[in-house]
Amino acid sequence: MSGPGELSIITRGLNLYYGAFQALSDISVGIRRGLITSMIGPSGCGKTTLLRCFNRVNERYDYVRTTGEIIVLGRNIYDPDVSLIELRKSVGMVFQRPNPLPVSVYENVVFGLRIHSDRSALKRADLDVAVEKALTEVGLWKDLRDRLKVKATTLQLEQQQKLCIARLLPLKPEVILMDEPCSALDVEGTRGIEELMFELKGRYTIVIVTHNMAQARRASDESIFMLMGKLVEHAPTEDLFLNPKNPKTLEYIEGRYG
């Protein structure tokens, strides 16, 4: 693991098109390693699109075209020899609604290991260790250690979302992307996910898209404000909220639009 001042993600002149529509325009930004960075802005401003660029999820659609560079952990992810499988192991993603697999808690956590490892080399003892470690890291081991055979979709929503994060950890990601991970949760569930983010910070670089400006202010070290597919301002969160440099940022924070 490199030092805290270094960058996990760098974009240079990034443009993305959905067919003829340009969704991202000339995005250049550096996201610092080990911190929580939030992306805020009105609906349709491009923040989720940018988030999904970081592990090339947008490219599931054949009408998407991208230009520019994205450097993740020192490599341009558009280089022809970059493996999407390896990229997505290093850059995990958590979605708006919890999406645990309809299998046991245990099988959810080891799913990535089973997919990405030589099954003949996987020992039950190693899987057991991975499950305990991942569930401990997200704060679920105490509650679920006697319920590992329970179907994951029967858990509370907060537990389901934490399990989705736990599912990433055995693959040893360095970056965790979160696309409005609290949008389906109540106040208590939201607090639980935010507390977990604080616990994971430092070991992982976390990038979160949120519509909730109070959440961005509470939970992130740095914030990025986007508008109409462009990056307007990127600063330490307190600076961006208390002393924004761009008048458009101030207008958004004051609720004049969006």
pLDDT of residue 3: 45
pLDDT by residue for the chain (258 residues), tens digit each?
A: 344 469 999 999 999 999 999 999 999 999 999 999 999 999 999 999 999 999 999 988 889 999 999 999 889 999 999 999 999 999 999 999 999 999 999 999 999 998 887 766 788 999 999 999 999 999 999 999 999 999 999 999 999 999 999 999 999 999 999 999 999 999 999 999 999 999 999 999 999 999 999 999 999 999 999 999 999 999 999 999 999 999 999 999 998 766
Residue at 249: amino acid letter: T
Residue 61, SS3 per DSSP? coil
According to DSSP, residue 152 is labeled: G
pLDDT of residue 60: 85
pLDDT of residue 56: 96
Instruction: Please name the residues in contact with 53: beta carbons below 8 A apart, sequence gap of 6 or more.
Output: 11, 14, 16, 24, 66, 70
Per-residue pLDDT tens digits for 89-108: 999 999 999 999 999 999 99
Cβ-based neighbour number of residue 180 at 10 Å: 19
> DSSP string of 155-221?
S-HHHHHHHHHHHHGGG--SEEEEESTTTTS-HHHHHHHHHHHHHHBTTBEEEEE-S-HHHHHHH-S
Residue at 194: amino acid letter: E
Q: Which fold has domain 7-253?
A: Rossmann fold (3.40.50)
Residue 254, SS3 per DSSP? coil
pLDDT of residue 122: 80
Nearest to 241 by CA among 218, 207, 210: 218
**pTM for the full predicted model:** 0.94
Domain boundaries, the chain: 7-253
pLDDT of residue 257: 66
